[in-house]
Amino acid sequence: MSQQGYVAAPPYSQAQPGIGGYQGGFGSGPGQPLYGHYGGPPQAFTAPPTGMMKSPVSSAACMPPPPVSSQYNPNVQQNGAHPQSVYIFFFLFVEYSSIINLKLENIKITFNLQNLNTALNTITALVSKVCSNCHFGLFEHTGQFGGPIAGPQPCMPGAFPGAPAALAGPPQKKLDPDAIPSITQVIEDDRAQRGGQVFSTNLRGQVPPLVTTDFTAQDQGNASPRFIRCTTYSLPCTADLAKQCQVPLASIIKPFASLPKNETPLYVVNHGETGPIRCNRCKAYMCPYMQFIDGGRRYQCGFCNCVNEVPVFYFQHLDHMGRRMDFYERPELSLGSYEFIATMDYCKNNKPPNPPAYIFMIDVSYNNIKSGLVKLICDELKTLLEKLPREEGVESSVIKVGFVTYNKILHFYNVKSALAQPQMMVVSDTAEMFVPLLDGFLVNYQDSRAVIYNLLDQIPDMFADTNESETVFAPVIQAGVEAFKAAECSGKLFIFHSSMPTAEAPGKLKNRDDKKLVNTEKEKTLFQPQKGVYEQLSKDCVAQGCCVDLFLFPSQYVDMATMADVPSHTGGSVYKYNNFQVETDGEHFLRDLRKDVQKSIGFDAIMRVRTSTGFRATDFFGAIYMNNTTDIEMAAVDCDKAVTVEFKHDDTLNEETGAFMQCAVLYTTISGQRRLRIHNLSLNCSSQLSELYKSCETDSLINFFAKSAYRAILNQPLKNVKDILVNQTAHMLACYRKNCASPSAASQLILPDAMKVFPVYMNSLMKTAPLVGSTELSTDDRAHQRLSVMAMGVEDTQLLLYPRLIPLHNLDVSSEALPAPVRCSEERLADSGMFLLENGHSMFLWLGQASPPDLVQNIFNLPSLPALPELDNPVSKKVRSIISSLLEKRPNSMKLQIVRQRDKPEMLFRQFLVEDKGLHGGASYMDFLCYVHREIRQLLT
């Protein structure tokens, strides 16, 4: 197999013993379990002996490592046509120790040469002369490599174990970063190849376009990748193969994903009284994988192989191909995704559900009144309630609404349409929460509009003189659950809250933010919710179909891990606005609120994932609650929430038949109808590992790893979790190298084409706030990010871990297209440039010191930069339209922060340049790649 590759050399000595105590050769592996997964007890993971990570070069922190060289070959093919197209790095290892008695000057002279060929020849000759046993990979270097020779990156505290130290002597140039795989290039290539095309789902095990590519999905028997994405589309046939490669087998399911306007909405199938047809044995729903036999009178289930009778009303003759004559008329026979209308058996107490309700619960304590937040919310609700979600083609929403204000006590409002004025009812006994009125609390907005307007006008004035600063929190959620119980409906609570609940009441919290726990065995307690009241509340909410969305406006620690516990188990979201000010943060908050109220959503949902024989779903991550091992319960599930499901083998899979999965979600629609939403997907099975690696999807893999790691930090030290991540990365890549790549020198790093940017994402994940043990990061922010990621889909984790950095200084105002993003590294910034950075949660506009004055003038209309004004010129309009289009696409709103080069706030911006060294520790991409390569070599020796 001919493999053209990139050339780069790491600043490393010989390979070191691997992380996780894998001493022996790679293959069957050690006697202890292999860590594909964090579920096991912490002691199962063998930590490396102390000192194992240290480079043998020297114990001094920044001693010179071996010299380095790297160049980029412009003629290299990005993606060869070969099915196992790979990236190769030629790594030259020179043992730099007392055995080789070379003078440092000689080496330095060698590396200041302007020609790579000469440099390589010189080193080879020098080293060979001194030591014939020296361990390095030689390779043929054909063709000329222009450009300067690079040296290692300077040493920085908190870099990855074994990261290169700074060279003594004059500063060296860095390794050429263009010589290693680039995410922006991979995204660009996929767009060029598959952008704007139709992706038909008629083939089993087809790898879809990347989440960053615009395409049109056409359902022809498998669910669209908008609903389900997999870590690999070709499962290994046996558990042994799966164990050997350690690639997690998982699906990321977003059952209510939004579809673009040019894609067909899901068909709804109504079988009347009889309800959906299901297999008698495994209860799988009728789908394209059922095989009709016996002239159409029976069908064999594709999941459990049971043969079932076809009900009389459902009988249809088969054509000469053995296919039913009504194949194309029935969505459940020809499509991957569709809905069934559920019968009474699927409803609570065998009666149809009532339409859901939304309750707005506003904390009216001193801070919220004084900041103007309460007035802002009340003013916004007047227009927002007009836009409650409703079914297609229906004039107005049937969702009922209710209002509560609270501080230490709760105030309920009667807004019945017959009243001239709203009435307030006060509940001061928060220990025994009840709803003081049934009639008039939950109302139809259209009917009671005048009374509701009246109430929203009065609330800010009613509490204008309050001095109450203490609040309750758990009783507020309890009140919502009781209200839904009384009305016999499901629904959502929108809670606007600003401080830790310290008033005497159930769920009272005390400050447990202890920076001394960071980087200790007990750090995990910072992420664990306080038990008791909140645990029970989650159960009550899920049982009633009560979803909680929390809008937090803290000015200090509020114990996010506990306060966000109920939202994170009920399919809810948590939004956080630190040190909120109406002028600077108001618009940001209102954008979030509008999106949140209007998004499409299903209530009181239960999801079950069924699989064909040979493998099964074993683990689940998301904003979910599980009472048993199979039923995923969600008080609500909206268009942005995803559930990540891991699969394990329980038998051998068959290459002929492939593997099937079916996700069924039973839920209540916004109009109060009980429905079943079905998504089906078929995957290939193979006994060739190369097939598995070829069918991998890096973006899905990293979604799985982020969620597993974020769950693991609840009961393991951060160091263990990060060791496991690196260890598994090395294992996956070493297995590919050993079993799938052409033979080559040990010094080459070979990456599967589909996973060539996996190390960038993995390194970025390890530098995220939850996984960085730094006392400079707020405990609440770390807990918030941990919980947000648990419910994310593939697009959102992709963007979070590799932000988009878009140059705006040479905008083509006439072009519709967005400027192409550049790599997330400081090296891509230019003093005269202007860049927009976004990751789905933060957005920055960075201005270089030497930005052209006319550019700044065109955008800001003045030399200083308070905010982004609306100016009537093409550049300003174009920049604002780019920002608006990005905000439109993301589930969350982002507050635009404007930073100037070398101003203090720039530090905040720099932590998102994920290819560079982390501000709070963590290696650069280049160093991490070298480190992983060393681990791979260790596994292979």
> What residue type is 884 in one-letter code?
S
Compare 81 and 518 and report the one with higher pLDDT: 518
**Residue 725 covered by a domain:** no
Q: Give, in order, the Cα–Cα distances in Å from 623 to each of 553, 565, 709, 818.
A: 22, 10, 16, 33
**Phi, psi (degrees; rounded to nearest 5) at 166:** -75, 145
**Residue 470 covered by a domain:** yes
The confidence score (pLDDT) of residue 41 equals: 38
- Using DSSP bridges, classify how beta strands 357-363 and 491-497 pair: parallel, antiparallel or unpaired: parallel
- Would you give the DSSP letter of residue 575? E
**Residue 392 covered by a domain:** yes
Confidence of residue 852 (pLDDT cuts 50, 70, 90): confident
Residues facing 659 on adjacent strands: 683
The contacts of residue 115 (CB under 8 Å, 6+ apart) are 144, 145
The C-alpha atoms of residue 66 and residue 87 are separated, in whole angstroms, by 24
**Residue 784 covered by a domain:** no
The contacts of residue 296 (CB under 8 Å, 6+ apart) are 310, 315, 316, 317, 318, 324
Query: Does the structure show a pLDDT above 60 at 227?
Result: yes
**Of 260-269, 464-473, 627-636, 815-824, minimum mean pLDDT range:** 815-824
Q: What is the pLDDT of residues 586-595, one digit of tens each?
A: 999 999 999 9
Confidence of residue 370 (pLDDT cuts 50, 70, 90): very high
Both tokens assigned to 313: 């009303």
The C-alpha atoms of residue 518 and residue 775 are separated, in whole angstroms, by 6
Q: What is the CATH number of the domain that holds 864?
A: 3.40.20.10
Q: What is the pLDDT of residues 742-792, one digit of tens each?
A: 988 888 899 999 999 999 999 999 999 999 989 999 999 999 999 999 999
Query: Does the structure show a pLDDT above 90 at 99?
Result: no
For 214, other C-beta atoms within 10 Å of its C-beta total 11
Gyration radius from the chain CA atoms = 30
Query: Does the structure show a pLDDT above 60 at 537?
Result: yes
Question: Hey, CA dihedral for 505, 507, 511, 512, is it positive or negative?
Answer: positive
Q: Judge whether 724 and 45 are in contact, CB under 8 Å.
A: yes
Query: Does the structure show a pLDDT above 90 at 694?
Result: yes
Q: What is the CATH number of the domain that holds 409?
A: 3.40.50.410
Q: What is the pLDDT of residues 551-583, one digit of tens each?
A: 999 999 999 999 999 999 999 999 999 999 999
What are the respective helix, strand and coil percentages of the chain, to the nearest 5? 30, 20, 50
Confidence of residue 137 (pLDDT cuts 50, 70, 90): very low
247 closest CA partner among 263, 234, 262: 234
**pLDDT above 70: percentage of residues in the chain:** 81
What average pLDDT does the segment 269-285 reach?
A: 96
Q: Judge whether 801 and 702 are in contact, CB under 8 Å.
A: yes
**Residue 516 covered by a domain:** yes
Q: Judge whether 403 and 359 are in contact, CB under 8 Å.
A: yes
Query: Does the structure show a pLDDT above 90 at 223?
Result: yes
**Of 68-77, 186-195, 403-412, 460-469, minimum mean pLDDT range:** 68-77
The C-alpha atoms of residue 205 and residue 867 are separated, in whole angstroms, by 49
Compare 55 and 374 and report the one with higher pLDDT: 374
Confidence of residue 13 (pLDDT cuts 50, 70, 90): very low
**Residue 892 covered by a domain:** yes
What average pLDDT does the segment 522-551 reach?
A: 95
Compare 104 and 330 and report the one with higher pLDDT: 330
**pLDDT above 90: percentage of residues in the chain:** 72
Query: Does the structure show a pLDDT above 60 at 53?
Result: no
Query: Does the structure show a pLDDT above 60 at 172?
Result: no
The confidence score (pLDDT) of residue 865 equals: 59
The confidence score (pLDDT) of residue 443 equals: 97
Confidence of residue 815 (pLDDT cuts 50, 70, 90): confident
| This prediction's pTM | 0.84
What's the mean per-residue pLDDT of the chain? Answer: 84
What average pLDDT does the segment 230-252 reach?
A: 97
The contacts of residue 6 (CB under 8 Å, 6+ apart) are 72, 73, 76, 87, 88, 89, 179, 180, 181
What average pLDDT does the segment 636-656 reach?
A: 97
The C-alpha atoms of residue 721 and residue 711 are separated, in whole angstroms, by 10
Convert 713-752 to b/e letters by CB count within 10 Å (16 or more is b): beebbbebbbbbbbbbbbbbbbbbbbbbbeebeebbbbbb
Both tokens assigned to 518: 């960071």
What average pLDDT does the segment 32-51 reach?
A: 36
- Would you give the DSSP letter of residue 765? H
Q: Give, in order, the Cα–Cα distances in Å from 655 to each of 27, 300, 631, 658, 681.
A: 24, 19, 29, 5, 16
The contacts of residue 503 (CB under 8 Å, 6+ apart) are 407, 408, 430, 470, 471, 472
The confidence score (pLDDT) of residue 812 equals: 87
DSSP 504-537: SSTT-------GGGTTSGGGGGGTSPP-SHHHHH
The confidence score (pLDDT) of residue 863 equals: 56
Which of residues 545, 567, 599 is at a domain's end?
Answer: 599
Range of the domain at 862: 803-913
**Residue 519 covered by a domain:** yes
Which of residues 538, 570, 599 is at a domain's end?
Answer: 599
The C-alpha atoms of residue 882 and residue 819 are separated, in whole angstroms, by 9
The confidence score (pLDDT) of residue 762 equals: 98
Which of residues 571, 599, 627 is at a domain's end?
Answer: 599
Q: Judge whether 829 and 869 are in contact, CB under 8 Å.
A: no
What average pLDDT does the segment 656-669 reach?
A: 97
Torsion of CA 729, 735, 738, 739, to 10 degrees: -140
**Residue 512 covered by a domain:** yes
Number of domains in the chain: 2
